[in-house]
Structure 1
Amino acid sequence: MHSTNVIRPPSTAGLVGVRLKILRTAAIELTTNGSALKEALMSGFNVTYSDCGTQPCPNPGYSSKWWNRSFKGVVAGIVGTIAVIFVMIICYLKREQLSNMGVISKKKTEDNQYAKDFIMNQGSLAPKQYSYSNIKKMTHSFKNKLGQGGYGSVYKGKLLDSRLVAVKVINELKGNGEEFINEVASISRTSHVNVVTLLGYCYERTKRVLVYEFMPNGSLDKFICDLESSSTNCQLEQRTLFEIAVGVARGLEYLYRGCSTRILHFDIKLQNILLDDDFSPKISDFGLARLCQKKESIVSMLGARGTIGYIAPEVFSRNFGGVSHKSDVYSYGMLILEIAGVRENFDAEVSHTSERYFPDWIYQNLNLDENVENTSVLTEEDEQMKRKMI
């Protein structure tokens, strides 16, 4: 018997198929005739095997290594692709946001920079700038609230040198923060006994805070009572009221003539007149103020500004004339009439008569030498001071 030259395929996992190649001149047909198969087996034949198609098969274990490397490569490629797509999405969304919100985002950035530049251009006149964390420390995390307004809230605070301060936190950010800029720029130019002192400010993104000197007696409106009030806490002597009226007038005159740049306040009212421990008045709240050169007598404005009841006619409607510092004088006059108690009498009379124009009512009563004062008992000296104010 010829020795069989048989190469048996190794028992290695991963062999997919076996191809048999019989190297003989006669073809062997595997049929039901078992003698032919027996003769082939007895004669011997060569066997080759492969799991790589028609290519030579590598050594055992190569397939598994190739698969591991391929798998890792695919995973790395997928992760890299996802990362690139993620970055592209972020960049696209950011660009779309800046494009779609250009009027807001871009403008806000420009406005913030403009505000900072505007404030810093004040040079030595610029007040101290505080961080928002410092503001929280000086107010003990806004513990003691002094008041609330349409702009935000006012809190009591203390500086490192133990000075008390009033911290005004701006909650209503109107437009591009023009009111905040106006207040810092305007008040930084002032130094007068009848104008409140700005000690510092905070400007951090949406955090806008003003730090003022503390006025222990609060605002003037707390000391002006209506006719039906029986409270004595808000009553001041006539002499004190007269001095307050004179002090406010001096403060306004300083804003018009004493500063290098004329300042028009546009919001003179009881709530914006603060009183120190000696009841000396100080003009505050310059959020609506306008800066103008001294040579300018008429200023241009878009829309009315101020508080109903104090606004001069020309500020409300240009048909009455141009807007100037005289518009503040009108508001000051309305404030004085409130201090004198005349407006209270007018309000009481209007309740049971036809509607009348307040300044016209004052003018007619003074011409007729009628009593336009309140019904409280006054000395002769008090009556003279009140009539001077009127």
Structure 2
Amino acid sequence: MDSRLALAAVVCAIVLCATPAALAQTVQVWTRGGRAYSLTCYTRFEVVPFYRPPNATSLVVAAASPATPPALQPTESGVSTIAAVLLVMSCIIVVVKSRSRAKFEMIIGKNSNRKENIEELLDNYGSLAPKRYKYSQLKDMTGSFSEKLGEGGYGTVYKGTLPDGNPVAVKFLHDLTSNGEEFVNEVISIRRTSHINVVTLVGFCLGASKRALIYEYMPNGSLDKFIYAENSKITLGWDKLYEIATGIARGLEYLHRGCNTRIIHFDIKPHNILLDHDFVPKIADFGLAKLCNPKESYLSMAGMRGTIGFIAPEVFSRRFGVVSTKSDVYSYGMMLLEMVGGRKNLKSSVENPSEMYFPDWIYRCLADLGSLHTFDMEYETEEIARKMAVIGLWCIQVSPNSRPTMSKVLDMFEKSADELEIPPKHCFYSAIQ
């Protein structure tokens, strides 16, 4: 195809640069006409008749009289020039049309192949594949997006209802980085991830510009609205808070070791821990780091992912170590400390400046006083709080090698508070808290 275009360009250059006489000679050498072909077009022209109907009468054209002005006399060079120009124009039209048709067929074929690949992927998993919904169906399910549940770095969530009456959470994604096939592959991977402490994916939407994930609905919302409340410990109670902490640990341990592919969440925080009707914690938004580009609030510079206050040092800077599942352990530890303190780990509005950064403050309470009496707790309550605090301090060690795995964290939860050693005092990482 490119060779035909090059030929047309050469012929065009000859037409534009050569003199009429030279053109006449050139055309006379080739032919007194021309033909142009394509798959759907055939063009032919001659300076003499190339088709004579049966029984046609021959016409004889007399020579022009001397009185005819020279400018109006048809000359062989003029006819040849016109023929050459027409030939070049025909060649260019044919080549351009052929290129456009080929490009169109390539696009159609590519899209068709992608569509077939997506359908094949879904068919391979049969009933295990998540159900695909159209955008119009999601609009009906959510009542034209009437009830907004929340918005995060990966998208906006609306409450919806399936045709069978079951409530769902519909998350519309933005800043997508994957094509259709990659998106479906990740969706299938998320669907295959099944654990009591991990949110279940029900279905998805894959349109030209709209992509969404449909999850099971969590009636009690996210953990953040409970632990930051003024009477959070009264609302949940320390026993329930402890159950939630261990449930999250089990869910993370499953993502790191138990599922088919090891998953690093990259954004463990109270906002991404959802609670069902019995306050069983379920980890949400796992697997989305591959699908989306997080917002600026998620500090996406240099490939960094996570939320301010929960980002492991090695995610922020490689000089601290290599990004791994230990990065999730760090985020979990920071969240655990916020659950104990009932506040953000960094809080500027405090009476005592020493209480500004909670990890330092609670470490001093445990190391110097050996208790959490300053929190005005009963003995049984303090036992739970002290265990959670010590585990949290181990998890936020600056060096990834010093942090426990989630399996080790679960073992620590099985021990009493007195059996747990306080980690060595290091400068806790708070550069971007």
**Superposition TM-score, scaled by structure 2 size:** 0.55
Query: Which segments of 5 or more consecutive residues in structure 1 lack a partner in the other structure?
Result: 1-83, 99-104, 292-300
Which is greater in Rg?
Answer: 1
Question: Would the aligned equivalents of 2:222 and 2:272 in 1 still touch at CA under 8 Å?
Answer: yes
Counterpart of 1:235 in structure 2: which amino acid? T
Shift of 1:150: 3.6
1:44-77 C-alpha deviation (Å, 9 max, x unpaired): xxxxxxxxxxxxxxxxxxxxxxxxxxxxxxxxxx
Equivalents in 2 of 1:140, 1:118: separation in Å? 32
The residue type paired with residue 282 of structure 1 is K
The question of whether the paired residues in 1 share the 8 Å contact of 2:228 and 2:342 is answered with: no
Q: Secondary structure at the match of 1:340?
A: helix
Q: Distance in 2 between matches of 1:233 and 1:137?
A: 39
| Kept after mapping to 1: 8 A contact 2:155/2:172 | yes
Q: One-letter code of the match for 2:279?
A: F
RMSD of aligned Cα (Å): 4.2
Using the alignment, how far apart are the partners of 2:372 and 2:199 within structure 1? 32
The residue correspondences of 1:10-89 to structure 2 (distance < 5 A) are none
- Check if 1:206 corresponds to 2:205: no
Instruction: For residue 303 of structure 2, give the secondary structure of its aligned residue in structure 1.
Output: coil
**Do the aligned residues in 1 keep the contact of 2:171 with 2:213 (CA within 8 Å)?**
yes
> What is the match of residue 27 of structure 1?
none
SS of 2:164's equivalent? Answer: coil
The letter for the 1-side match of 2:157 is: V
Cα drift, residue 141 of structure 1 = 1.7
Are 1:381 and 2:380 an aligned pair?
A: yes
For residues 271 and 342 of structure 1, do their structure 2 counterparts lie closer, same or farther at Cα, with a shift above 3 Å needed?
Answer: closer
Structure 2 residue runs without a partner (length 5+): 1-89, 292-300, 390-433
> CA 1:181–1:340 in structure 2 vs 1: closer, same or farther (change >3 Å)?
farther
Q: 2:325 corresponds to which residue? A: 325
The whole-number CA distance in structure 2 between the counterparts of 1:289 and 1:158 is 27
CA contact (8 A) 2:132 2:203 kept: yes
For the Cα contact (< 8 Å) 1:274–1:283, is it kept in 2? yes
- 1:223 maps to a residue whose letter is F
> Is the Cα contact below 8 Å between 2:341 and 2:358 reproduced in 1?
no
Query: Helix, strand or coil: the match of 1:168?
Result: strand
Q: Distance in 2 between matches of 1:233 and 1:368?
A: 25
C-alpha distance in 1, partners of 2:369/2:183? 46
Q: How does 1:1-390 map to 2 (within 5 A)?
A: 116=118, 120=122, 123-124=125-126, 125-170=128-173, 172-176=174-178, 184-225=187-228, 229=230, 235-289=235-289, 303-341=303-341, 344=344, 347=347, 353=353, 359-369=359-369, 375=375, 377-390=376-389
- Distance (Å, rounded) in 1 between the aligned partners of 2:372 and 2:186: 37
Q: CA deviation at 1:261?
A: 1.2
In 1: Cα distance, 2:259 partner to 2:290 partner: 13
SS in 2 for 1:262: coil
Task: Summarize deviations over 1:295-317 as a string: whole Å, max 9, x none.
Answer: xxxxxx96211111111111111
Judge conservation of contact 1:158–1:165 (CA < 8 Å) in 2.
Answer: yes
Distance 1:366 1:189 in 2: 42
User: Counting helix residues as a fraction of each chain, which structure ranks higher?
Assistant: 2
Count of residue pairs the alignment pairs up? 283
Name the CA shift for 1:257/1:267 in 2 (closer, same or farther; >3 Å): same
Given that 2:222 and 2:270 are in contact with CA atoms closer than 8 Å, whether structure 1 keeps it comes out as yes
Question: What do the CA deviations read for 1:359-388 (whole angstroms, capped 9, x no partner)?
Answer: 45544443223556874x433211111111
Aligned-partner residue type, residue 148 of structure 2: K
Asked if structure 2 preserves the Cα contact closer than 8 Å seen for 1:183 and 1:286, the reply is no
Identity %: 55
Distance 1:251 1:273 in 2: 10
